[in-house]
A and B are shown apart, each in its own frame.
Chain A
Amino acid sequence: MSNHLTGTWALLKLALRRDRIMLPAWLAVLVAMAAGSAAATIPLYPTLAERIKASETINTTPPVVALNGLIYDESSIGAIAMVKLSGIGAILVAILAIILVVRHTRSEEDTGRLELVGSTVIGRHAALTAALIIGFGTNVVLGILTTLGLIAAGLPVAGSVAFGLGWMSVGFAFAAIAAAAAQVAGNGRAANSLAITLLGVTYVARAIGDTAGPRWLSWLSPVGWQQQLRPFAGERWSALLVSLAFTAVAVAGTYALAARRDLGAGLLPDRPGRARGAAFLGSPLGLVWRLQRAGLAAWAIGFLLLGLVLGNIASKVGNLLDNPDLQDIILRLGGEKGITDAFLAAEFGLASIIVSVYGVQSIMRLRSEEANTRAEPLLATGISRLGWAGSQVAMALFGTTILMFATGLGAGLAHGLALGDVGGELGRVLGAALAQLPAIWVLVGAVVALYGLVPRQVVLGWVVLLAFFLLGEMGPVLKLNQWVMDISPYAHSPKLPGPTLDYGPIFALVAVAAVLTAVGLVSFRRRDIVA
């Protein structure tokens, strides 16, 4: 075993060097978010009565509970302040862990860099071990800094420690999941997708468990385990053991998988392919379709299921509302139907962020194809640059449309069936889902522009997406100016389904998307193709 680990230290240093900017930046954003919300929330609810009222409002609003989770002690300011961070915040922690671990295992194999170092003095488990050390180490640091940040913001020590440990445990679990996915999947992108799908599925299970029930569904999710630690609400430390035990088992399983496969290969053996290319595989659009149709189909199935779940919860939202404090809000929103619509609108808003992830990574393929020199032989044939890049842009627009369509279809069907009015609800709900597309396309356009103008910095697309997302999620908590929050295209998406539809913002978003895309494509035509 020990010689399988030879070189771990060298790889670790190399990886830390490569991540010397990304890692501190992620950590800073997460810790600042946690401490910032704590500091901003504490002065909002000085009296016990105010806290209880705020908690009850949150706990009895299923969309909010589905999105983030429950407040387990309605009198605790810490529980109120951190509920969002134990939901959406924990997702970001999980995504960081996944990206980190896959980046230093499977993605490295894809580039052949590991083969290069692997042939010298690097043991077969060194890369995996180095990646896990980075994944776990980062989350230990995150846990400590977050704890300190919360204490500094004025929250109780025990709860702060529990919260820090909770985030750490989510990071641990998903670092281990990502490591296992990296062994099973055929390449880095597939490993990322697999781990993130697992994150999404378990999160939805938790959302159902916390709202419609049954409650045990919440225990299927590492994010759920973290919430069951109940920071600031009579900490239940034993929940930590579930996470740690899971992590240990997953890591052991990963090493067993790793011992069983070859570098560069997935676990599933390759079936032979076709000896001849299909007729459509003679154009860049054909190639894009051939390479990405399977991935899109998998995403679409996922979003269809998500839509079904959301539509199903939506139809129960009305019944669950028995809080007298909410009565006038409900009335203002247009009665029970209004609250259902508001729920669907909020969930479609969230779905549009995830669909944007698809759009952003779809455009980023242009850069990876260019950087790993797969674009070069294509662009040396009779294919124009515009034809090549335009095909991927077309695929991104088409794919995002399909995904929002799948979400809307699922939600409309489930909701319509529950109300016994599929004909009346389906079109309305589907339209509401599709109305989120223009904001998504602005993100797509922004990444095309980055790709054309600063190809080597195209990863900034993730920063843009994260920033827009955080503006929407944290802006109100942090009491940002409205104009700052309005920078995000998602702020201008129509809140549908709902009573009114204003076409102005839709056209504006489409126009911005078109301009960004055009800028990107024109710049791409004029610049060098660079590895």
Chain B
Amino acid sequence: MTTPVSISSLVKTFGSTRALDGLHLEVAEGEVHGFLGPNGAGKTTTLRVLLGLLRADSGTVRLLGGDPWHDAVALHRRLAYVPGDVTLWPNLSGGEVIDMLGRMRGGMNPKRRAELIERFNLDPTKKGRSYSKGNRQKVALVAGLASDVELLLLDEPTSGLDPLMEAVFRDTLLEERQKGRTILLSSHILSEVEALCHRVTIIRSGRTVETGTLTELRHLRRTSIDATLATPPQGLDGLPGVHDLSVDGTRVRVQVDNAHLDEVLRALTTVGVRSLVSQPPSLEELFLRHYGTEPTVDERGQTETEALPR
């Protein structure tokens, strides 16, 4: 069994811009893989290399067991791609575009096509120029999802969809997930990735900074605790894994590395807990910590381990 997508040390430059700078990405068969990064991180560039639209400067890229540059045409029949910014032909109707892309890919499932058009509430007789951005996106989604292919490559597919349609998209993708379809989903909408993906790769400035299952990533992250204690606490700031501690009388707010939750909770319970609210780290927080302007861990002199290869 081959790995559907396997990229290592991928470098792609545009003039002086290093769009991809040693990127790693593995997508296993039957997996929904979230591909996260802020704007300009290199997600679209990575997908374009995978599609053989761009030629890698260096590194190895394997797609469905083949070379995406040399075997492009044969490989493309086994996958469907939904671009992030869909432009349609002004005087082709949505239905015509869907059928055309399906045929060029080597066929689509007509039942599934009809069902998706229904679910996404798309009018297939409208011309390209009269579709809104969200509707153009739907055309590309229907064309991609209605094809019986091994691999789906989706580049920020929900941009422009309203919340209702986003929910339809999630349901549809969850069904695909059930069927065991391999999906690479590029996104910057974290809740979407949290809801859909088995594993996640986070990139920044063309490099992979994290990869793993959501549980694995959470394990490496912090939990925020807001507790009211029986008496003011002592010596909390001496404990390992404690960040941003603020004590206001008996009220304690603190961020704790998940690896050190035990020690901190023990310290709290010895004082006596009257109320406690703890929040799991959302992907937003993971994201902010990597891409926000917070000082890095090293500068703070903490011993926290960074997840996975830098």
Residue numbers of A with Cβ under 8 A of B are: 110, 186-187, 264-265, 270, 272-278, 281-284, 286-287, 290-291, 372-374, 376-385, 526-529
Contact = CB atoms under 8 A, between A and B. Distances in A.
B98 A277 contact: yes
Given A273-B91, A281-B96, A290-B92, A381 B129 contact: no
Interface stretch (B46-54, B157-165, B208-216, B265-273): B46-54
Contacts of A529: 48, 53-54
B142 to A, nearest CB: 12
Nearest to B74: A382
Chain B interface secondary structure, helix, strand, loop or mixed?
mixed
A377 B83 contact: yes
B126 A273 contact: yes
Interface of B: 48, 51, 53-55, 72-74, 76-77, 79, 81, 83, 85-93, 95-101, 103-106, 124-127, 129-130, 140, 143, 153
Contact of A377 (B73, B92, B99, B101): B101
A69 to B, nearest CB: 39
B249 to A, nearest CB: 49
A381 B105 contact: yes
Nearest to B47: A380
With most chain A CB atoms within 10 A of its CB, the pick from B90, B126, B143 is B90
Contacts of A381: 76-77, 101, 104-106
A377 to B, nearest CB: 6
Given A290-B92, A372-B87, A277 B125 contact: no
Which of A186, A264, A272, A385: most chain B CB closer than 10 A?
A272
29 contacts: A110-B90, A187-B90, A270-B127, A272-B93, A273-B92, A273-B96, A273-B126, A274-B96, A275-B125, A276-B95, A276-B124, A277-B95, A277-B98, A277-B103, A281-B103, A282-B99, A282-B100, A282-B104, A291-B92, A373-B85, A376-B53, A377-B86, A378-B101, A380-B51, A381-B101, A382-B104, A382-B105, A529-B48, A529-B53
Given A275-B95, A275-B125, A291-B92, A373 B51 contact: no
Contacts of B91: 186, 273, 291
Contact of B99 (A281, A374, A378, A526): A281
Given A265-B129, A281-B99, A382-B77, A275 B124 contact: yes
B92 A383 contact: no
A510 B226 CA distance: 80
B89 A274 contact: no
A398 to B, nearest CB: 20
A421 B1 CA distance: 75
A277 B110 CA distance: 12
Nearest to A283: B104
A521 to B, nearest CB: 15
B183 to A, nearest CB: 15
A265 B130 contact: yes
